Amino acid sequence: MNLVHPIDDPTAPRNRRQSCLRAVGITVLVLLALTDVVIASFGSSALWPLFVVLPLGLAAVLWPAARQPAWLTPQLRTAVPAGVSLVVTAVAAPTGRMEEFGPGESAILLCLLLVAVRGCPPRWVVACSVLDGVAVVVLPLRMIRGSLDDNSTAGMTGVVLVLVLLVAVMAGLGGYLRVLDHRRGVAVTETRRSERLAMAADLHDFVAHHVTGILVQTQMARMMAVTEPENLDPVLAGIQNAATEALSSMRRTVGILREGPQDLTGPEPADRHPAADLTSLADLVGGFGGPKAVLHRDPSVPADLPHEVQAAAHRVVQEALTNVRRHAADATEVAVGLTYEDGMLRVLVRDDGRGGTQMPHAARGGGFGIVGLTERVTALGGELRTGPRPDTGWEVMALLPTVGPGARRLTL
């Protein structure tokens, strides 16, 4: 799921680059594996070990992450091919039936070493990494043919040193990527935590507003009980409605906090803003300091939508406009639309920019806007859709349920 422009989305351009790199990597590994087969075919080595190790290693490296079954854990994925390679080296090499080794198997094992260091659980990472590293380093033992002279020993030593260097490089790269993954996970978790706290703060303000109204109306009712008892019913009805809305918002607040994947305790965010709603959208769009922005609010949109839905709609528009300013300064117009149908509020933001005249990289933000937006929208049972427009520009659409079966139901 993308946000407003692919530059701000930490997944869109990265996924495209990863797809290209994956295609290149698959091609290279397959060619290297075929090289092993060709070397063994023209030499005197047996082919059967290659037809055991290479397919198993290629499957472990190239199996798409999205289609991996639950049982194919990183430790199993990296340890089994390395173990089979060690067995082949230990059993087949002394028989003299494997006198050569090519670059394919070593490249596959090095890739699995990278996967082990980066993705294995902490208690498994050392064991799996050592297993993959040893399997790579001992591959030259397959070239031993009886006793070795000085030249053969020197050549063997050189090959082993090169493999040790490659193992160290891949292990270091895997460790670096593991640190980056951890940092990004922490940043994503913190962004979700901040967004949930902001939602809870908005809802708290809304509940406080209604409780204050209940207090005022209760005082009025006590006065009217003596002077105008016949007119008490409208006042009591207002108290009932305010209490119902306050209780509903409080339930949603508790539900959001309960369903958080992490502890939400800690200091409150320093950038708490006043609660936003659909009424303030006109000021937000009108005060947009970028291309011409126009707000189209369909008359069918109710004015009394749940506060959390209004706050989420305001947040979507705010983030969309921010990203237009960051990544589509060449846009000439931005259209913000609000429609309502079948209990669903539809928020649509479109621009006609081509992504030119971008701001400096340091001014583009951390790239985690999508995380917070998705957290807020999905917490309410909604959906966020984004992508390029058919002609020119980008659009973001949020569907927020307000009533009916599609609405999120949170109970105490």
Q: DSSP secondary structure string, 178-223?
A: HHHHHHHHHHHHHHHHHHHHHHHHHHHHHHHHHHHHHHHHHHHHHH
- pLDDT tens digits, one per residue of 49-64: 788 889 999 999 888 8
Terminal CA-to-CA distance of the chain, rounded, Å? 31
Most confident of 75-89, 93-107, 188-202: 75-89
Counting every residue written for the chain, the total comes to 412
Residue 132 pLDDT exceeds 90: yes
CATH code, 227: 1.20.5
d(CA 79, CA 274): 54
* Residue range 125-131: mean pLDDT, rounded: 93
Per-residue pLDDT at 91 exceeds 60: yes
39 token code pair: 């070397």
Give me the pLDDT at residue 289, please: 61
What 3-state class would DSSP assign to 90?
Answer: helix
395 and 367 fall within a common domain? yes
In a domain, 266, yes or no: no
- pLDDT reported for residue 118: 92
19 and 105 share a domain? yes
Decide if pLDDT at 373 tops 90. no
pLDDT of residue 144: 67
CA 235 from chain centre, in angstroms, equals: 49
Bridge partners (DSSP) of residue 334 are 293, 351
Predicted local distance difference test score (pLDDT) of residue 94: 64
Does residue 149 have a pLDDT over 60?
Answer: no
Classify residue 41: in a domain, yes or no.
Answer: yes
| CATH number for position 382 | 3.30.565.10
Percent of the residues in the chain that have a pLDDT greater than 70, as a whole number = 69
Question: Do 231 and 317 belong to one domain?
Answer: no
pLDDT at 1: 35
pLDDT band at residue 370, thresholds of 50, 70 and 90?
low
In a domain, 116, yes or no: yes
Rounded Cα–Cα distance for residues 289 and 29 (Å) = 51
Q: What pLDDT shows up at residue 339?
A: 93
| pLDDT surpassing 50 at residue 68 | yes
Same domain for 196 and 305, yes or no, is no
245 and 369 co-located in one domain: no
Answer yes or no: is pLDDT of 168 > 90.
yes
Model confidence at 126, pLDDT cuts 50, 70, 90, reads: very high
Is 273 a domain residue? no
Average the pLDDT over 98-119 and give the result: 86
Q: Are residues 222 and 104 located together in one domain of the fold?
A: no
Sheet strands side by side (includes 333-341): 292-297, 333-341, 344-351, 394-401, 383-388
Residue 107 lies in a domain: yes
Average pLDDT of span 255-265: 47
Report the pLDDT value the prediction gives residue 239, as an integer from 0 to 100.
76
Based on the domain organization, do 121 and 237 belong to the same domain? Answer: no
- Low-confidence winner among 12-21, 24-33, 386-395 (lowest mean pLDDT): 12-21
Higher pLDDT: 108 or 285? It is: 108
Q: State whether 140 and 37 are in the same domain.
A: yes
Q: Are residues 111 and 231 in the same domain?
A: no
Give the per-residue pLDDT at 95.
Answer: 62
Q: What is the pLDDT of residues 188-229, one digit of tens each?
A: 778 777 767 776 666 665 666 556 667 667 777 777 777 777
The pLDDT of residue 360 is: 42
pTM, two decimal places: 0.54
Same domain? For 248 and 287 the reply is no
pLDDT in tens, 302-353: 888 887 888 888 888 888 887 777 777 678 888 999 999 888 999 999 988 7
For residue 185, name the pLDDT band (cuts at 50, 70, 90). Answer: confident
Mean pLDDT rounded to a whole number for the chain: 76
Q: How many domains are there within the chain?
A: 3
Indicate if 248 and 334 belong to the same structural domain: no
Same domain, 67 and 142: yes
- What share of the chain in percent tops pLDDT 90? 21
pLDDT at 321: 83
Range of the domain at 88: 12-146
Closest CA to 328 of 296, 364, 374: 364
